[in-house]
Amino acid sequence: MKFAIALFSAAHAPSSRRALLFAQAALAGGHEIVRLFFYQDGVYNASDAVVTPQDELDLPKQWRAFITEQNLDGVVCIAAALRRGVLNAEEAGRYQRDAVAVSAPWELSGLGQLHDAVQDADRLICFGGA
């Protein structure tokens, strides 16, 4: 089965951990992940600026490692990222900001990437959100 996964909650939320565990289990079960799409507060999972306390799981680090190791498509919604100051080098330059918080393997792109993923997937699985 092909999955598109959308994550709407920040790295400290339990649903972020659940999303990662689901994605890992899906691949271990022989399924395919078409795309991981990080939206709303989910963009914080892609931020290099998040500092996790030593006694907590560093989910941004785990997401980065998982996406890199599995060669997955990790897309961060550009509108949600801009609103939250989670910028890559290109957007930081465009808006004349000093802070760069997103780097490879993440890609900033539009909501259309989620739509495209849904078209290619058998199921869309969403985690978090209000």
- What's the N-to-C CA distance of the chain in angstroms? 27
Catalytic residue among 77, 78, 81, 102: 77
Strands annotated E in 1-130: 2-7, 32-38, 74-77, 107-109, 123-127
What's the gap between Cα 23 and its chain centre? 12
Q: Is 77 a catalytic residue?
A: yes
Q: Closest by alpha carbon to 81, among 116, 108, 49, 111?
A: 108
Cite the active site residues.
Answer: 77
